Amino acid sequence: MAILIISTIFFTIITFISYSIWRRHAIFKLRSSIGIPGPPVHWLWGNLNIIKDRVSRLGYNDTTQWHPTLHTKYGPIFGLYCGTQLHITVSEEEDIKEIFIQNFSNFSDRMTPDIFGMNQLNQSLLQNTYATGWKHTRSAIAPIFSTGKMKAMHETLVSKIDIFLEVLKEKSSSGQKWDIFENFQSLSLDIIGKCAFAIDSNCQRDRTDLFYVQARKFVGAVDLKKSWILPVSLILPELSWLWRFLYKFSDLSAAELPLVKGLVDLYDRRRAGEGGNDSTDLLNLLIRRETIGKMTQREVIENCFAFLIAGYETTSTAMMFSAYLLAEYPIVQQKLYEEIKKTKENAGLNYDSIHNMKYLDCVYKESLRFYPPTTHFTNRVCLNDMTIRGQIYPEDSTLKVQPYTIHRNPANWESPDEFQPERFENWEEKSSSLKWIPFGVGPRYCVGMRFAEMEFKTTIAKLLDTFELSLVPGDPPMIPETNGVIFRPRSPVRLNLKLRI
């Protein structure tokens, strides 16, 4: 009996390994069979090992340079195997337009790693598909980001920025140097906490604030290099049932649960009529959509959670990069300061006056062009085989466009590696929008773009109104590194902050 059991186990394992190798062989042949170039494929890891190799060679994952290098080497369309999934990057304007806009019905869904099917975001805009109601959710949510709603939230946002400035004043007056990125992160958390979750967190002053601790734990867990379950599930998708089961015990799940639970409690209290029913936060605006039958309870909660995930790190990173660039380019900083000073004297720094500042708008756009905060995020699954401009795109492959590659391509921008906000002075937004894509492309572009713009511009305007920024002499240059979705500064970023009188 024992021999029978052992031989059954043995043959099952052998059959599984043979099947996996055979399957991989067929999958890895696909790329060359459709004429898409790319780096050599490892029989087990696909191209995931390249990331590992680069990290061990360089000491960090310089994805900002990696994709432009692949673009130069393999051309505007190339493919990488993320485990066994074929990811095809496109860079030509016509291809981007055809895939992300004209043929949206065949490329409507964002790629979601299989194990994420177990998380609390499947009904949110980040992960839901056309078949599971993305269009309905999007049209229910888009109105809550209208100009009127943003204006109503502006005062709340300013109150958090005022705390940010107070903290910076206290720290800089003592002459110390510190990692200022943390201040942008905690500011962004306080803002999204108040505006989306409707909670009055104190992340900027209290690093033990529960919201701060939980949110940081969550974003720390979403990292291809740190999480074991994410790469393993990509490399061995045959065992998806096992990874889905184990997901419940992973760091990712453990980090997500308290945040969602907090949100459910808050939702219940709001529905029971406790506090804040007339407030303008995003949770309340979503609940109002629910009461008129436009959304379900689950959609309300999951989308609030999505706003935290999509809106926290993206915005703090964008502001950090911009502050760094302003310190690095004092002439740009001075020109922007002159505009801020004039605006303040004439109208004060309010929603409308900030919105109408022309040079601030140029700095905002150029900062996001120079250092777009996301990578790999603007992607779509190919729902059925499709040929576009002579190229076959196979069903289930993922099509991507990388903002950094597009933004630093000399065919799209003159002197792309120079920080020149003036290039946006006469920029025709509509005709060139596929050359400036920090917020994505087509109907599925970032729904929180207006919110991000308001937060970015108000913070930078108030920061420069208060301080003159400069780099700390002798500090190494800031290098952006990615966790697979978001760029962050690789090492602590310190700036000199001189209080303006």
Binding-site residue numbers for heme are: 446
Query: How far apart are CB 186 and ligand HEM at their closest, in Å?
Result: 16
Looking at the Cβ atoms of 41 and 189, the one nearer to ligand HEM is 189
| Measured torsion, CA atoms of residues 263, 151, 123, 220, in degrees rounded to the nearest 10 | -60
Q: Which residue type is seen at 458?
A: T
Q: What interhelical angle do 251-271 and 297-328 show, nearest 10? A: 110
377 near ligand HEM, rule: CB under 6 A: yes
Residue 307 sits in the site that holds ligand HEM (CB under 6 A): yes
Verify binding: residue 362, ligand HEM, rule CB under 6 A.
no
Q: How far is the CB of 318 from ligand HEM (least distance, A)?
A: 4
Q: Give residues 415-454 in contact with ligand HEM (rule: CB under 6 A).
A: 438-441, 444-448, 451-452
Q: Is 46 in the site for ligand HEM (CB under 6 A)?
A: no
Instruction: Number of residues interacting with ligand HEM: please give it, by CB under 6 A.
Output: 27
Give the range of 206-214, 254-262, 310-318, 487-495 binding ligand HEM by CB under 6 A: 310-318
Minimal distance in Å, beta carbon 115 to ligand HEM?
19
Q: Which 460-499 positions form the footprint of ligand HEM (CB under 6 A)?
A: none
Assess 60 for contact with ligand HEM (CB under 6 A): no
Of 250 and 303, CB closest to ligand HEM: 303
Q: What SS3 string covers 183-249?
A: HHHHHHHHHHHHHHHCCCCCCCCCCCCHHHHHHHHHHHHCCCCCCCHHHHHHHCHHHHHHHHHHHCC
Alpha-carbon span 227 to 251, nearest angstrom: 7
Among 378, 397, 405, 458, binds ligand HEM (CB under 6 A): 378
Say how many C-beta atoms besides its own lie within 10 A of residue 22's C-beta: 10
Listed residue (460, 487, 490, 461) closest to 478, CA to CA: 490
Smallest distance from the beta carbon of 159 to ligand HEM, in angstroms? 17
Closer of 82 and 441 to ligand HEM (Cβ): 441
Tell me whether residue 315 or residue 398 sits nearer to ligand HEM (CB atom): 315
Exposure string for 43-63, b = 16+ CB within 10 A, e = fewer: eebbbbebbeebeeeeeebbb
Q: Which of 138, 225, 355, 490 binds ligand HEM (CB under 6 A)?
A: 138
Residue 295 in contact with ligand HEM, rule: CB under 6 A:
no
The answer to the question of residue 115 lying near ligand HEM (CB under 6 A) is no
Distance, in Å, from the CA atom of 399 to the CA atom of 376, rounded to the nearest integer, reads 10
The residues with which 90 forms a beta bridge, in sequence order, are 77
At 172, the amino acid letter reads S
Please classify residue 244 by burial: count the beta carbons closer than 10 Å to its beta carbon, then call 0-12 exposed, 13-18 middle and 19+ buried: middle
CB 160 within 8 A of CB 204: yes
Q: Does 197 bind ligand HEM (CB under 6 A)?
A: no
Chain centroid to CA 446: 9
Interaction site with ligand HEM (CB under 6 A)? 110, 125-126, 138, 196, 306-307, 310-311, 314-315, 318, 373-374, 377-378, 438-441, 444-448, 451-452
